[in-house]
A and B are shown apart, each in its own frame.
Chain A
Amino acid sequence: MIATDLLRQYAFFSVFTPRQLESIAGIAEDESYPPGSLLFQERQPAEALYLLLKGSVELFYTVEVEYHPELRKELVFTVIQPGELLGISTLIEPHVFTSSARVISAARVIKINALKLREWCEKDYSLSSALVNQVAQAAIERLNATRKQLATAWAASRA
């Protein structure tokens, strides 16, 4: 449980009504993590949605080759900055994380319980359409950024 005043400071929450903010505050926690902490891991059930308040968090993806642990490689795709969402798979089926998140510089987050959030989404469509809108925007932005990275990687391989 956190104070609704904390939520009100961030653009992400500006689309919600005071009552919706109160509900969200009731299932949210204000948490801090030191550098190196893993917030979540790819392929695990997505049970929390995070908003980064301070610090930075990298999203990475692990490439593994069966029977060849020495070939394990981590690929960092993006670095999340304050004000951005983490764990957007939380609201989207099949509710499984598609990447892992590791704290780079001391992070403060608002962590929202996803099971409760999903329950409300089925009851309050003005809440869920506002939420899913922002999640979809974050997904498209990341998709665009990844395509840009891909274009750069291709250009480099042709140079």
Chain B
Amino acid sequence: MISTELLRQHPFFGLLNAEQLREIAMISEEVHFAEGEMIFEKDSPANSFYFLLDGAVSLYYDGEKGISQAQDRGIHVGEINPGEPFGISALIEPHMLTSTAWSTKPSRTLRVDALAMRNLFKKDPQMAYALTLKAAQAAIERLHATRVQLAAAWA
């Protein structure tokens, strides 16, 4: 359980009303990660949704074995800054993580229990819409950034 004030400060939760913020706060906790610590791993079930409060997180994709050996973490596919969500697959079916997240600085995160959140979504479509929309927005931004990376790799 965290304070709803912590949620209220961030536009990501801006579409939620006071009662909805309270429900999310009740299933959230503040979790800290050290520099160089792995937060979650690609291809595992997305059971938690994260929101970065402080620090820095990098997302890596290890497509094929050869690549992960050449560079220990795989390919860098995204940088998470404070105020941004990660582990967004927790909100999107089939709820499987599509990248590996490493904390690259001491990081303070909000971790939301995704199973509890999906249960809230079932009874509150407005909350489901508000948060899935923000997750989709993050996915589109990352898609755009990855296409730019791909364009550079093809050049």
Contacts and interface: CB of A to CB of B under 8 A. Distances in A.
Please determine whether chains A and B interact with each other in the same assembly: yes
Interface of A: 61, 63, 75, 77, 88-89, 91-93, 98-99, 121, 125-126, 128-129, 132-133, 135-137, 139-140, 142-144, 146-155, 157-158
A99 B75 contact: no
- What is the interface of chain B mostly: helix, strand, loop, or mixed? helix
Given A136-B91, A136-B92, A155-B64, A149 B137 contact: no
Interface of B: 61-64, 66-67, 70, 74-75, 77, 88-89, 91-93, 98-99, 121, 125-126, 128-129, 132-133, 135-137, 139-140, 142-144, 146-147, 149-151, 153-155
A152 to B, nearest CB: 7
Contact of A153 (B128, B140, B153): B153
A99 B75 CA distance: 23
A112 B64 CA distance: 39
Given A75-B151, A150-B146, 20 more contacts: A75-B150, A88-B140, A91-B136, A125-B126, A132-B133, A136-B92, A136-B135, A136-B139, A139-B136, A139-B143, A140-B88, A143-B146, A144-B98, A146-B143, A146-B146, A146-B147, A147-B77, A150-B150, A153-B153, A153-B154
A28 to B, nearest CB: 21
Nearest to B74: A151
B137 to A, nearest CB: 5
B150 A137 contact: no
B147 A89 contact: no
B63 A136 contact: no
A121 B140 contact: no
A121 B125 CA distance: 11
A77 B70 contact: no
Greatest chain A CB density within 10 A among B63, B140, B153 is at B140
B25 to A, nearest CB: 21
Contact of B143 (A126, A129, A143): A143
Given A129-B125, A136-B92, A154 B143 contact: no
Contacts of B91: 136
Contacts of B140: 88-89, 92, 98, 139
A90 to B, nearest CB: 11
A93 B141 CA distance: 10
A13 B25 CA distance: 34
A136 B61 contact: no
B147 A135 contact: no
